[in-house]
Amino acid sequence: MTDSLYREAILDHFRNPRNRGTLEPADFTYEDVNPLCGDEIRVDVRTDGENVTDVRFSGRGCAISQAAASILMEMVDGRPLDEVKAISREDLLEELGVPISPARMKCAMLGLKVLKAGIYGVPPSDDSL
Amino acid sequence: MVTTRTGNTVDWVRVRDDFPILASLGSREQRLAFLDSAASSQKPERVIAAVDRYYRETNANIHRGVYDLSERATAQYEAARHMVADFINAASPREIVFVRNTTEAINLVAQTWGRRHISAGDLILVTTMDHHSNLVPWQLLAEEKDARLEAVRITDEGVLDLEHLDELLAQGPRLVAFPHVSNSLGTINPAAEIIRKAHDAGAIVVVDGAQSVPHMPVDVQALDADFLAFSGHKMLGPMGSGVLYGKLSLLEGMPPFMGGGGMIRKVSLTRSTWADVPARFEAGTPSVGDAIGLGVAVEYLQGIGMDTVREHERELTAQALDRLREVPGIRLLGPEDLDDRAGVLSFTLGDIHPHDVAAILNEENVAVRAGHHCCQPLMDRLGVVATTRASFYVYNVDEDVDRLVSGLHRAQAIFAS
């Protein structure tokens, strides 16, 4: 099925998540849940003040939430903080490369929401992602 | 053509063809397998046409209109009330209050009977398997009145622990609320027995009939239920149609729910007196067309026969249970005995998240629900975050079971490697 949500690239990130784990200590740590699916994600970030020097995620939930968080880790590891702050919903959707229905958008965006909350210190509203 | 145990001969494929949405969605090779009727049912052509016809030929506000159109609308609205009363064997159509849904019906009881009769320290009983709509209204009432709220436990198999019920009843609750059929597990609770015991303990009983009235014969007089709440939209009727049944003697002693037009006898600037039952509980313009559509849905179900509906769903459930047991990693929740179980199948599939299971089934045009099914305390009790739930109705056929089973095998294959 060519338009499947569960393409090999997504499943690969789900089965073999990149940057999975925690950082102790970390410069930013944040965690949140998606009440729809019960997804939980925590993101730990280390930074030298300009760049993300290390990043890890942990948590559990549906394949979309966990794969999207893993993909996000690859997007931000080593990147300048300013660029990380500028990552949009569309940027992440493009990397995911599968059609995300409105019902699953919160799953796909949970990692990004948590990451930004960690960087800014407050969670962004769903609309501003 | 299938002859059921009740002796009725029904062609279920022809029944399915009465539902336009099931014919129009999907391809000929892959029709929509709709397995989410516990959330809301599809509507037969006859119901859709009745609502359409109402707006084309009969629409006007009911009651007090002295012109023909309003009288016709009133007559059809009240005829629907009679049909619903007959359907559940109410002693009088005055015992039928039209509301929007089960939730509104239960809130109505909590905010009227409950506020008048529950006081500080009183005990209200609910169950671990109640839908949030039969929990939260009682939580709100208990908080307001400083009353106590206790939940009857369930066993690991997902049936009510009747010994625990007895223990709690010995404490003399004022009110007992329980689901006739669990929306998450399909468990059919022994309603008549629970009601009898609750009455012996001096309690008033509220039955959540959202998952029973659409699927099996329900006789409120045989059950001796004080209140029974159910949703028209789960029984082939329009969304926005729901029913509260209440014993006349109880309804007559209750204050109004909402204030407004239609529910008064006489109004002065500073006080009012109330209309008779059931108008007292139907403030404002009701959803007339939807009530009329519900009446037609009731006729449609009576045409099949509720024993036959139950038998059909039992057949599908038996088939599905047998075949689902063969899916690797599946954990089926709820009672094994088909006598104790309605056409609801809740399960988990290994470590695969229910939303992923449902999404994969969706890719096969199979519609199921995934989540906590508005039963978070029940999910906690069962030690799961969520489940996938398939539920059956009159328009489901053997092929839908095949599609569900093969979809689950595909989900297993996708996540197995």
**What's the average model confidence in pLDDT over B312-335?**
96
Sign of the dihedral defined by the CA atoms of residues B86, B262, B133, B297, in that order: positive
- Is residue B96 within 8 Å of B85, Cβ to Cβ? yes
DSSP state of B154: B
Whether A3 is in a domain gets the answer no
Both B251 and B116 in one domain: the answer is: yes
CA distance A107 to chain B (A): 10
Interchain pair A5, B371: CB under 8 A = no
Structural domain containing residue A38:
8-119
Q: List the alpha helices (DSSP H) in B204-328.
A: 220-223, 248-252, 288-304, 306-324
Structural domain containing residue B194:
49-302
CA distance B407 to chain A (A): 13
Both B103 and B222 in one domain: the answer is: yes
Residue type at B390? A
Q: Who's near B360: CB < 8 A, 6+ residues apart?
A: A4, A5, A6, B407, B410, B411, B414
Whether A128 is in a domain gets the answer no
The total domain count for chain B is 2
Interchain pair B355, A62: CB under 8 A = yes
CB contact A6 to B (< 8 Å) = yes
CB contact B20 to A (< 8 Å) = no
CB contact B413 to A (< 8 Å) = no
Distance CA B88, CA B406 (A): 38
CB contact B356 to A (< 8 Å) = yes
CB contact A1 to B (< 8 Å) = yes
Instruction: For residue range B230-280, list pLDDT tens digits in order.
Output: 999 999 999 999 999 999 999 999 999 999 888 888 888 999 899 899 999
Q: Helix or strand or coil: residue B276?
A: coil
Sign of the dihedral defined by the CA atoms of residues A65, A68, A74, A75, in that order: negative
What pLDDT, on a 0 to 100 scale, did the predictor assign at position A1?
A: 45
CB contact A69 to B (< 8 Å) = no
Residue of A nearest to B411 (CA): A6
Residue type at B334? G
What pLDDT, on a 0 to 100 scale, did the predictor assign at position B25?
A: 77
Q: What is the CATH number of the domain that holds B187?
A: 3.40.640.10
pLDDT of B149 > 80? The answer is yes
- Residue numbers in B near A6 (CB within 8 A): 356, 359-360, 363, 414
Count of A-B CB contacts under 8 Å:
39
Interchain pair B386, A11: CB under 8 A = no
Q: List the alpha helices (DSSP H) in B146-279.
A: 162-169, 191-200, 220-223, 248-252
Instruction: For residue range B164-190, list pLDDT tens digits in order.
Output: 999 999 999 999 999 999 999 999 999
Instruction: For residue range B339-383, list pLDDT tens digits in order.
Output: 999 999 999 999 999 999 999 999 999 999 998 899 889 988 998
What pLDDT, on a 0 to 100 scale, did the predictor assign at position A125?
A: 67
Residue type at A64? I
Both B319 and B285 in one domain: the answer is: no
Q: What is the CATH number of the domain that holds B29?
A: 3.90.1150.10
Domain end marker among B244, B279, B302? B302
Distance CA B108, CA B366 (A): 36
Which token pair is A62? 């549906």
Q: How do the pLDDT tens digits run along chain A, 129 residues long?
A: 446 889 888 999 999 999 999 999 999 999 999 877 778 999 999 999 999 999 999 999 999 999 999 999 999 999 999 999 999 999 999 999 998 989 899 999 999 999 999 888 766 766 666
Residue of B nearest to A107 (CA): B355
Residue of A nearest to B359 (CA): A5
Instruction: For residue range B287-299, list pLDDT tens digits in order.
Output: 999 999 999 999 9
Whether A34 is in a domain gets the answer yes
Interchain pair B363, A5: CB under 8 A = yes
Average pLDDT, chain B: 95
Both B249 and B324 in one domain: the answer is: no
Numbers of helices and strands, H then E, in chain A? 5, 3
Both B297 and B319 in one domain: the answer is: no
CB contact B132 to A (< 8 Å) = no
Both B293 and B411 in one domain: the answer is: no
Both B272 and B329 in one domain: the answer is: no
Q: What is the CATH number of the domain that holds A106?
A: 3.90.1010.10
CA distance B364 to chain A (A): 10
The total domain count for chain A is 1
What pLDDT, on a 0 to 100 scale, did the predictor assign at position B29?
A: 72
| CB proximity under 8 Å: A 9-48 to B | 11, 15, 36-38
Whether A62 is in a domain gets the answer yes
Q: Helix or strand or coil: residue B34?
A: strand
Residue B365, sorted as left (phi over 0), alpha (psi -120 to 50) or beta, turns out to be left
Interchain pair B359, A104: CB under 8 A = yes
Whether A129 is in a domain gets the answer no
Domain end marker among B265, B283, B302? B302
CA distance A10 to chain B (A): 11
- Residue numbers in B near A1 (CB within 8 A): 363
User: How far from chain centre, in Å, is Cα B111?
Assistant: 20
User: How far from chain centre, in Å, is Cα A67?
Assistant: 8
Task: Label residue B1 by pLDDT band (50, 70, 90).
Answer: low
Both B213 and B79 in one domain: the answer is: yes
Q: What residues of B act catalytically?
A: 374
Distance CA B93, CA B278 (A): 9
Instruction: For residue range B28-83, list pLDDT tens digits in order.
Output: 678 899 999 999 999 999 999 999 999 999 999 998 788 999 999 999 999 999 99
Both B23 and B145 in one domain: the answer is: no
